[in-house]
């Protein structure tokens, strides 16, 4: 018996019925409350055999604390729906993780690395050999703040 015929090639109706707009609004409100704005990291794309091009984005990203994991956010979202009596299907953890990075690309969770601030890493990556005085000064301020931690 063919599994596709047995199930009728039907999509997961619970995952398809999730109100993605509500998930995005809730996640954006969390990012406004606890997120820290910071510049985006560099994206390097190869051009030709030995050339690479760096792309910088001027848009700031909301960086959430590393204590907010995807699992915790998923649980908190489901608690929010229960507490506010919202009549919508509850999302599974995998559906939650699938929806948010796609719909909210400017909101990210910080890495949990110790003794390294993401903003310092982003500024260091952003700096090139032609870094001007303002970029160098900003990097120095962030580096001194990181050393004070």
Please name every residue paired with 109 in a beta bridge, in sequence order, or none if there are none.
Answer: 64
User: pLDDT, tens digit, for every residue of 87-102?
Assistant: 888 888 888 888 888 8
Separation between Cα atoms, residue 6 and residue 2, nearest integer Å: 6
Domain boundary assignment for the chain: 3-111, 113-149
Strand, coil or helix: what is 149? coil
- Residue 114, pLDDT score: 46
User: pLDDT, tens digit, for every residue of 43-78?
Assistant: 667 777 777 766 666 667 888 888 888 889 889 988
Separation between Cα atoms, residue 148 and residue 129, nearest integer Å: 27
């Amino acid at each position: 018996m063919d599994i596709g015929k047995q199930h009728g090639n039907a999509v997961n109706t619970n995952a398809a019925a999730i109100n993605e707009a509500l998930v995005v609004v809730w996640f954006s409100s969390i990012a406004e409350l606890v997120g820290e704005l910071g510049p985006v990291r560099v994206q390097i794309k190869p051009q030709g055999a030995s050339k690479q091009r760096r792309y910088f984005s001027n848009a700031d990203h909301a960086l959430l604390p590393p204590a907010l994991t995807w699992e915790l956010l998923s649980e908190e979202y489901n608690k929010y729906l229960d507490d506010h009596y919202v009549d919508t299907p509850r999302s599974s953890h995998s559906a939650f993780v699938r929806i948010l990075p796609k719909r909210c690309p400017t909101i990210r969770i910080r890495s949990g690395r110790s003794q390294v601030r993401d903003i310092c890493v982003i500024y260091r990556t952003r700096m090139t050999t032609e870094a001007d005085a303002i970029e160098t000064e900003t990097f120095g301020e962030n580096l001194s703040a990181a050393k004070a931690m």
